[in-house]
Amino acid sequence: MKFLRNLILSFVFAGALSLTTSANADCKVHLGDFDWDSANIHTAIAGYIIEKGYGCEVESTKGSTTPIMAALFDQQIDIITEVWRDNLVQLIEDNLAKGTIVELGVNTPSSTQGFYVDKPTADKYNLKSVDDMKSAEIAKLFADPEAPGKGRMTSCISGWTCYTINLVKHKVYGLDKYYTNFDPGSGGALDAAIAGGFKKGKPVFSYYWTPTGLMGKVDLVKLEEPAYDQACWDEMTTVVEDIKKNGPDVYKPTCACEYVNMSLTKAASTKFANNAANKPIIDFIKNYSIPTADVNKSLAFYMDESGGDMEETAKNFLSSNSMWESWVPSDVASKVKASL
Amino acid sequence: MKKYKKFIKPFVLSILFIFFIIISYRSAKPRYKPENFTDIFNDFSWLGNWPKWLDFPLMQPLNSGFDWLIVKYGLFFEGINNFLLGLYTSMKNSLVGLPWPIVIAIVIFITYFASGRKTNTTVMVAFCTFFLGFLSPRYWDKCIMTTCIVLIGMLLCIVVGIPIGIAMARNKKVRNALLPILDLMQTIPSFCYLIPGILLFGLGAVPAIIAIFVYAVPPLIRLTDLGIRLVDKEVIEASEAFGANKRQTLLGVQIPLALPNIMQGINQCTMMSLAMVVIASMIGTRGIGDEVLLGLQQLNVGMATEAGIAIVLLAIIFDRITQSYGEKIQERTQPKKEIKF
């Protein structure tokens, strides 16, 4: 009997606790997230505002580019807060034409991608541009233990479009004779390869990008490439999309240039955007924009202070900045503030 | 005094528990804890959600310990890396360099003699081997890479695992100490040691071999241990009666009689190695696993399934060879017993 009494008491107790935390959930938002940290931060901040300010149930799904974008086109995911648009130009324009997605403007106004070398090595051997890399002696510094005689450039993972872009760039720049375009397999492995190189004091030659948390901790130098040119980029994109569809054998000599200093955008599925009930949330996402410097600050906080807690990082951003208050109506802003 | 002996262990554990709580409270950030220590006895709101000050600080020491390991023992890991990598590349290059019909012929030769001249098994394995390249010519070299990684991983497992299994079977204390470690190795998510593996060994084949070792050695150890303990007491007594010393009993009686079980362990070890090879492709290990990963990342279901079938074929080849070799040994050591299923 004692057991029964305790059981009932504990149910009552648990019930009382859950009453205090239940949220009003008459709407549901499914956010798409990617496997790199700046996307995680935007998802966490936007998710927090939608959950606390608009009282919606927020679900987020994390994955690599292709599956998450496919889920957005398929209307399974409602909103993505960081789209690397210029890497996916073809795909996005096709889907805009088909009417499966709606673009919601710029999120982070500038970002950089490129080929990086660690500073000590770059200084020692005077490496400034991709052309400086084209020598057997330099390639030996970055020796690929599994491909004798070649150096290794840690590239994107094969599910990201930039893997194919790097493949084409290697061929155009003539780097493919000296280096392998090495697929690290996952975003975490790419970070670990760079961090491991720095910890051991070994030369690092890798594709990387900003804004990222790791970039604040290691000293990487970006190699110069031919300057960005719209026509050149478009020509290259056609070849890249062709290779993605039909394999590396269909490579044609093309023009190649540096990654554009691109703005990261936001997108929503048409089904979600056209639903009148979701209009306040769409308006909020349209206003949502964080400058690169602040993204970097949040990334640094995430890496060093939050102890790996994304929600904590989102809360820190919301309580130490006020720019977000202009994205939402004042009643929503006060609700978010109250929850901090 | 004897009366209180059973209380010592719980007492020490509760002291340790209280000590842990004090550590967690002290190391929590000031903004997470109440202003005054006594507040937690007046304001009970922390009983609702797990309070942030009740957080055992394990992450920081682990991180700094790991950094220390890289800096201090970097050369040691470098040595292991170069050894395993040298083994892998020489094995891979010689096999990839051979014409494919010769590789198939070698596989047939090994199967035929390992299975005790069983034609059925040999034909089956030969067919599977041919089908690896037949599925897609691209797969042939990748399957060879995967096979090399699995073979080196297995070699490591056998060299380390069987002696440990024997030690466990002979000493209860060793067994009690090792069992939790084996449980840990089998259940800890593989990424917990794959990513640190990159920091220590760099991207590529070596962290995969280490991961295979961590993941696949426990069943081999367990089955070796079990096999040796299952040897009839009477048989051991008989051998001792004939004047065999401990070493002679082990090498002449226990291990031969436990061999079927040990072979089963090696068989399980191979299967688990193959499973790990696919996961290892996520840390840049070249092989048939990255075809599966690529197929999934490009949402190409056909490609992923095709590569998946190649892995199954590879598993069948490994399984048939090790199984039939185990059966052959069993027939030799227990000639009169006939096992019927």
Report the pLDDT value the prediction gives residue A259, as an integer from 0 to 100. 86
Q: Where is pLDDT greater, at A40 or A86?
A: A40
Per-residue pLDDT, B166: 92
pLDDT at B22 over 80: yes
Cβ A199 vs Cβ A103: under 8 Å: no
CB count within 10 Å of CB B240 equals 14
Q: pLDDT tens digit string along A305-314?
A: 777 788 888 9
Give residue-wise pLDDT tens across range B202-261: 888 899 999 999 999 999 999 999 999 998 888 888 988 888 888 888 888 888 888 888
**Which chain B residue's Cα is nearest to A159?**
B297
Please, what is the angle between helix B137-170 and helix B288-297, to 10°?
120
CB contact under 8 A, A193 and B198: yes
Dihedral through CA A322, CA A323, CA A326, CA A327, nearest 10?
-120
Q: Average pLDDT over chain B, rounded to whole?
A: 87
Instruction: State both tokens at A263.
Output: 């703005």
CA–CA gap between residue A220 and residue A206 (Å, rounded): 9
Of B48, B199, B298, the CB nearest to A195: B199
Answer whether B206's CB lies under 8 Å from B81's CB.
Answer: yes
d(CA B304, CA B291): 7
Cis peptide before B99 (omega within 30 of 0): no
pLDDT(A18) > 60: no
A185 vs B: CB within 8 A: yes
Between CA B315 and CA B320, with CA B318 as vertex, the angle to 5 degrees is 100
Sorted by where each starts, the structural domains of chain B and their CATH numbers stand as 74-333 (1.10.3720.10)
Of residues A50, A127, A11, A2, the one with CA closest to residue A314: A50
Residue B269 has what pLDDT? 92
Of A220, A237, A240, A219, the residue nearest A228 (C-alpha) = A237
Confirm or reject CATH 3.40.190.100 for domain A115-250, answering yes or no. Answer: yes
Q: What percentage of residues in chain B have a pLDDT greater than 90?
A: 39
Tell me whether residues A200 and B70 touch, CB distance under 8 A: yes
Q: Where are the domains of chain A?
A: 26-110+263-339, 115-250
A80: β partners: A32, A267
The answer to whether A66 touches A95, Cβ cutoff 8 Å, is no
Residues of B in contact with A91 (CB under 8 A): none
Helix (H) or strand (E) holding B220: helix B205-229
User: What CATH superfamily classification does A26-110+263-339 receive?
Assistant: Periplasmic binding protein-like II (3.40.190.10)
Contacts of A35 (CB under 8 A, 6+ apart): A62, A63, A64, A186, A187, A188
Q: CA-to-CA distance for A101 and B74, rounded, in angstroms?
A: 50
